[in-house]
Amino acid sequence: MIDEGILARLDKVVAKHAELSDQLSQPDAVSDQARFRELSKAYADLTETVTTYNRFRKLLADIAGAREMADGGDAEMAEMGREELAQLEPEIESLERALKLCLLPSDPNDAKNAILEIRAGTGGDEAALFSGDLYRMYARYAERRGWKLDVLEENSTELGGFKEIICSLAGEKVYSRLKFEGGVHRVQRVPATEAAGRIHTSAVTVAVLPEAEEVDVHIEEKDLRIDRFCSSGPGGQSVNTTYSAIRITHLPSGLVVSCQDEKSQIKNKAKALKILRSRLLQLEEDKRMAELSTTRKSMVGSGDRSEKIRTYNFPQNRCTDHRIGLTVHRLDGILNGDLDLLLAPLLETFEAERLEAEFAKVVG
């Protein structure tokens, strides 16, 4: 059963939710649009917890009634009570876990869109080809979830792969779903260029950054050095002859971002600044996490880009996530966008660890 301390916290959430509802219903609530949006967001953030808690309390009452029937003297009613308990008790366990998850401190970046960066590592052309495979895997997954994908920068190879590709993903809770994808993705397969049929091992690095808005990261114009140059690579008319490509150097941090996908210098600058803001936000997040204890140094790892997180083995149609020891023999489906085969157990493991750590403090 849920501890009394947790129930007290849930009662406070219900009271706060009611207070916000009252504030939103006031006649002058919409006069200040910024405050109205703030109140509406706070109300929406608590609604799921309150709805789940109300279901939980109703279920407790139903279970109490079923137990009274089961303990009664009438044999027929007692049997009905026992049958009802058998149906209700498993649901209460599920609701208890859901309520505990609702009370966990949320990652402020979870609701953000994401910047996805995929880069070929060791393995030459084969690594670049697998970068393309990973990009298409995430693109298909985004399509399944109704997210919008926009390529910000790409450096393609003649064989159809990518030395580097950077894209933005916009939709509901994109970052919360993909934030553990950062790290080294290893592939084992026979390359198309391998005449002897030998299996090669290559690696690709993936980084997932929360997309930063201007309000999240303020960049001073004086801190930027902006270079303009001609785009390189295939581009058709004018793209290689006009100074449309942009390279931005953030002088305080030394971060360098370039973009040349668009014919418009203005559009390339906007895309480059979007990437730069997200990288600066990630730098701040890394500093913050470094100051904490071992919160994210759990079974799912730190998310460090140098950490090998997954192996894709083509001969065995196998994909293994090394952080939780999960192996799935559905590699073809995963690369076709069925990424939840890996993400669902990964996120569940992380949530279980957070629950254990958080509520050990509450009852300890």
Q: pLDDT tens digit string along 1-38?
A: 677 878 888 999 999 999 999 999 888 888 888 888 88
pLDDT at res. 192: 72
Q: What are the structure tokens assigned to 108, written together?
A: 């402020």
pLDDT at 111 over 50: yes
Residue 8, C-beta contacts closer than 8 angstroms, at least 6 positions apart: none
CATH of domain 114-215+298-355: 3.30.70.1660
8 A C-beta contact, residue 339 and residue 169? no
285 or 109: which leads in pLDDT: 109
Per the listing, tokens 């008319």 go with 237
Query: Measured between alpha carbons, how far is 55 from 77 in angstroms, rounded to an integer?
Result: 25
pLDDT at 300 over 60: no
Please write the tens of the pLDDT for every residue from 163-208.
Answer: 999 999 999 889 999 999 999 999 999 887 676 778 889 999 999 9
Q: What are the structure tokens assigned to 364, written together?
A: 């300890």
pLDDT band at 292 (very low <50, low <70, confident <90, very high): very low
pLDDT at res. 360: 61
Query: Measured between alpha carbons, how far is 131 from 204 in angstroms, rounded to an integer?
Result: 6
Please write the tens of the pLDDT for every residue from 313-355.
Answer: 999 999 999 999 999 999 999 999 999 999 999 998 888 887 7
Residue 181, C-beta contacts closer than 8 angstroms, at least 6 positions apart: 116, 138, 206, 208, 309
pLDDT at 161 over 70: yes
pLDDT at res. 30: 81
pLDDT at res. 355: 76
Provide the percentage of residues in the chain whose pLDDT is more than 70: 87
Residues of the chain with CATH 3.30.160.20: 221-288
Residue 343, C-beta contacts closer than 8 angstroms, at least 6 positions apart: 177, 178, 180
**How far separated are the first and last CA of the chain, in Å rounded?**
16
Closest-CA residue to 350 (of 303, 293, 292): 303
Per the listing, tokens 């071992």 go with 294
pLDDT at 359 over 80: no
The bridge status of strand 224-229 relative to strand 114-120 is: unpaired
Query: Measured between alpha carbons, how far is 199 from 167 in angstroms, rounded to an integer?
Result: 30
Query: Measured between alpha carbons, how far is 251 from 270 in angstroms, rounded to an integer?
Result: 18
325 or 302: which leads in pLDDT: 325
The edge-to-edge listing of strands for the beta sheet with 245-250 is 224-229, 245-250, 255-259
Domain 221-288 fold is: Double Stranded RNA Binding Domain (3.30.160)
215 or 243: which leads in pLDDT: 243
Residue 223, C-beta contacts closer than 8 angstroms, at least 6 positions apart: 250, 251, 252
pLDDT at res. 301: 47
**DSSP bridge partners of 205:** 119, 184
SS3 label, residue 158: coil
pTM of the model: 0.71
Least confidently predicted of 72-76, 117-121, 236-240, 333-337: 236-240
Query: Measured between alpha carbons, how far is 262 from 169 in angstroms, rounded to an integer?
Result: 18
CA atoms lying within 13 Å on the CB side of residue 294: 7
Least confidently predicted of 169-178, 240-249, 292-301: 292-301
pLDDT at 47 over 50: yes
pLDDT band at 290 (very low <50, low <70, confident <90, very high): low
Please write the tens of the pLDDT for every residue from 52-67.
Answer: 999 999 998 999 999 9
Residues of the chain with CATH 1.20.58: 4-103
Q: Kindly report the number of other CB atoms within 10 A of residue 33's CB atom.
A: 8
Please write the tens of the pLDDT for every residue from 214-232.
Answer: 667 778 888 889 888 776 6
Closest-CA residue to 346 (of 182, 187, 201): 182
- Looking at domain 4-103, which of 1.10.3470, 1.10.8, 1.10.1740, 1.20.58 is its CATH number? 1.20.58
Please write the tens of the pLDDT for every residue from 246-267.
Answer: 889 999 888 988 888 777 888 8
Residue 332, C-beta contacts closer than 8 angstroms, at least 6 positions apart: 317
CA atoms lying within 13 Å on the CB side of residue 130: 27
295 or 270: which leads in pLDDT: 270
**DSSP bridge partners of 233:** none
pLDDT band at 238 (very low <50, low <70, confident <90, very high): very low
Hey, what amino acid is at 283?
L
Q: Give the Cα-Cα-Cα angle 13, 18, 20 (nearest 5 degrees).
A: 95
130 or 252: which leads in pLDDT: 130
The DSSP H or E segment spanning 165 is strand 162-170
